[in-house]
Amino acid sequence: MATHDYVIANGTGAAVRSDLNDALAAIVSQNSSATAPATTYAYMRWADTTAGVMKMRNGANSAWITLYQLDGEYTTIAIENGTAAAPAFYFKDSGTDTGIYSPGADQVGISTGGTLRFSISTTATTSTLPIVYPLGAVGTPSITFTGDLNTGIYSSGADALDFATGGTRRVGIASTGDVTVYGGNVTLNAQGDLRFADSDSSNWVAFQAPATVASNVTWTLPSTDGTSGQLLSTNGSGTLSWATDIGGTKIEVGNTKAEVTDTGSNGKFAVTVEGVESLTVNSNGTTTLTPSNIIKSGTAVASTSGTSIDFTGLPSWVKRITVMFQGVSTSGTSTVQVQLGTGAGPTFTTSGYLGASMAVASTTGTAGEQNGTGFRIYANSVAASVNHGNIFISNLTGNTWSLSSVLGQSDTARVSWAGGSIALAAALTAVRITTVNGTDTFDAGNINIFYEG
């Protein structure tokens, strides 16, 4: 281990010989030393035993260049980045413009013919040319994944692309563009469309699932084509088949349907509800309604207790209500009145009733009362009054209603007439029979209603 300044000083023969021997020792040991030689020259070598590397002085004799490790490895050798046209590593027979270089920080590139073809960085691997893979097979796809070598992409033949999972072919794309799914199901999530484009792909038609599906449904298509005019029909269990139209056009759900029947001369349009033909429009222009389906009767209520009797839950399509009295009387002399209600509660309107009532008796003459908190249906009542008859409430327009009634008493020769109207704030949903003071109680008879659209 020696270094030398490579300057032989004048001296005696023995001294000169010793100095020459020291210089030769430095040369043969590559100036090996734990510290750099004190005197250096351009391109001089130094075996740095501290760092374990071979170094060479640069051409300017201003710094050391690391060449390789003293143990023969080259892991710490620094070379120039190079360029695509002049890569740092090139191959003798391929020319100086084909090899490996670094395009930038943390990047390695491969160039051929002076052009970058392939690069690797900390974020991506990029190729400027096609990457050619072997065809592969269903069990050994060409492009696969760590730890799952039988799942990936391969080619089953010319111009074909295939996808495999678990060594089984799942999807194939042919040279014609045909896509085949080999087993399994295709799911379009979140109401995704199944679209079919027109000839120039400018527009399309599509199928889409409803917003909410309570349970999974599968429809199995027929195995053959139907005949002209046939329709797809379901058996209710998901199996579709071709069915012949029964002679008309209809919309049908269960026992309810709307159907047009064309017989050539006397066709008709009919609406059937729960198996009963409720509405029929005939070819001569006449319309037939089934009465049992347009007039709805309530449940009779015994008017023998309570300060009011309510009929609620009237449908929005109601246009006329009939209230029927049979032997109705109260415990006091307060006039019986009718009030109309709105909303689900309901809320009964207690003001704004216009009109009046009048009573005519064989013994006492006439009497009358103005409406106010309700429609007053007979005047100057007494506790023993027992009334029979009908009250008619009709829709004038919107939420405006009118009332007329005729009631006769069975306890004496007395008849009461009433008439009036009111504009409600909302749709009518309920009818109440009560008294003006609201405290007299009903003590006899029955009351019921029916309503119609």
**What integer pLDDT is reported at residue 272 of this predicted model?**
75
CA–CA separation, 305 and 329 (whole Å): 10
Q: How does pLDDT run across 432-448, given as a tens digit for each residue?
A: 999 999 999 999 999 99
Contact between residue 164 and residue 155 where contact means Cβ atoms under 8 Å apart: no
Tell whether the model's pLDDT for residue 393 goes beyond 80.
Answer: yes
What is the predicted pLDDT for the residue at 430?
97
- Give tens-digit pLDDT for 52-71: 888 999 999 999 988 888 88
pLDDT value at 77 more than 70? no
277 or 148, which is more confident: 148
Q: Which residue has the tokens 């709307």?
A: 258
pLDDT tens, position by position, 25-50: 888 888 999 999 989 999 999 999 99
pLDDT digits (tens, 9 = 90+) for 216-231: 999 999 999 988 888 8
The pLDDT-based confidence of 357 (bands split at 50, 70, 90) is very high
Q: Which residue has the higher pLDDT, 93 or 251?
A: 93
- Comparison of pLDDT for 4 and 202, the residue scoring more: 202
d(CA 280, CA 188): 44
Check residue 260 and give its pLDDT. 67
The structure's pTM equals: 0.42
pLDDT at 400 over 50: yes
Burial of residue 349, with CB atoms counted within 10 A of its CB: 0-12 exposed, 13-18 middle, 19 or more buried = buried
Cα 13 to Cα 8, 18, 333, 446, distances in angstroms: 12, 9, 160, 154
Give the mean model confidence (pLDDT) for residues 156-182. 93
Please tell me the least confidently modeled range out of 177-191, 248-262, 320-334.
Answer: 248-262
Q: CA-CA distance, 390 to 433, in Å (whole number)?
A: 13
Instruction: Give the pLDDT score at 292.
Output: 46
Q: What is the mean pLDDT of residues 245-271?
A: 66
Tell me which residue has tokens 């046939």.
230
Average pLDDT over the chain, rounded to an integer: 88
CB atoms within 10 A of CB 72: 6
Q: How large is the average pLDDT for residues 138-145?
A: 94
pLDDT at 8: 83
Residue 162 or 18, more confident: 162
pLDDT (mean) for 156-179: 94
